[in-house]
C-alpha cells in the first residue's frame, strides 16, 4: 500500500545508487559500514585505515570517491575547525547536528534540544525558505578547559 520510506542510512545510500544507475560493490559496503560505525568526525585517512585493515587492497582513491557519493546523498557532511584536517561527519541521531565545541581542546559534545526545531521553522518561514535540516555549533570552553 505504501513504499518503504527510506530512513536508514544504508537504504538512503542504496537508493541513491539505484537512482543514478550506479552499482553496489564490496568496497562501497565496507566504506559505508565503516563510516556509519565510526566515531564522529572521521578524517579520510582514518576511514581509509579502517577499511584497509579489513581489505588491504582497497585504495585511497576509492575512499574519496565513495565519500563524495555519501556527501552527495546527504549522509556525509564536511566540517573543519581551525587548522584541523577536514573531517566527515556521519548522520547522528537522525538529524541532530547540535554540538558544543571546545575552543581549547577541540572536544565535541553532542547535544539535542527540541527548541531548535521550532526556531528553524520560524526563521525559515520568515524568509520564504523550506527547511530540511539544521546544524548548530556552540563554541566555548568545556569544564576541563575553563
DSSP assignment of 54-123: HSTT--HHHHHHHHHHHHHTTS-EEE--TTSPPEEE---TTT--EEEEETTT--EEEE--THHHHHHHHH
- C-alpha 28: how far from chain center: 16
93 binds, among a copy of itself, DNA, none (CB under 5 to 8 A by kind): none
Go through the chain and tell me how many residues it has.
146
10 binds a copy of itself (CB under 8 A): no
129 binds a copy of itself (CB under 8 A): yes
What pairs with residue 99 in β-bridges? 110, 137
65 binds DNA (CB under 7 A): yes
Size of the site for a copy of itself (CB under 8 A): 40
Q: Which of 59, 95, 131, 140 binds DNA (CB under 7 A)?
A: 59
What is the rounded end-to-end Cα distance, in angstroms, of the chain? 56
8 binds, among a copy of itself, DNA, none (CB under 5 to 8 A by kind): none
Closer Cβ to DNA, 58 or 136, answer by number: 58
Residue 98, all three cell numbers: 547540535
List interacting residues with a copy of itself (CB under 8 A). 68, 71, 78, 80, 82-83, 86, 98, 100, 102-103, 109, 111, 113, 115-116, 119-120, 122-124, 126-143, 146
List interacting residues with DNA (CB under 7 A). 17, 21-28, 44-45, 55, 57-62, 64-66, 68, 83, 85-86
Amino acid at each position: 500500500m505504501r513504499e518503504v520510506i527510506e530512513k536508514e542510512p544504508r537504504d538512503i545510500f542504496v537508493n541513491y545508487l539505484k537512482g543514478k544507475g550506479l552499482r553496489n560493490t564490496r568496497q562501497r559496503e565496507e566504506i559505508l559500514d565503516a563510516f556509519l560505525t565510526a566515531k564522529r568526525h572521521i578524517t579520510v585517512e582514518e576511514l581509509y585505515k579502517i577499511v584497509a585493515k579489513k581489505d588491504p587492497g582497497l585504495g585511497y582513491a576509492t575512499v574519496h570517491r565513495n565519500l563524495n557519493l555519501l556527501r552527495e546523498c546527504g549522509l556525509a557532511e564536511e566540517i573543519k575547525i581551525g587548522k584541523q584536517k577536514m573531517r566527515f561527519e556521519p548522520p547522528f541521531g537522525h538529524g541532530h547536528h547540535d554540538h558544543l565545541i571546545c575552543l581549547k581542546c577541540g572536544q565535541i559534545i553532542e547535544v539535542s534540544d527540541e527548541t531548535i526545531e521550532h526556531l528553524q521553522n520560524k526563521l525559515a518561514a520568515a524568509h520564504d525558505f523550506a527547511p530540511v535540516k539544521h546544524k548548530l555549533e556552540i563554541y566555548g570552553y568545556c569544564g576541563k578547559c575553563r
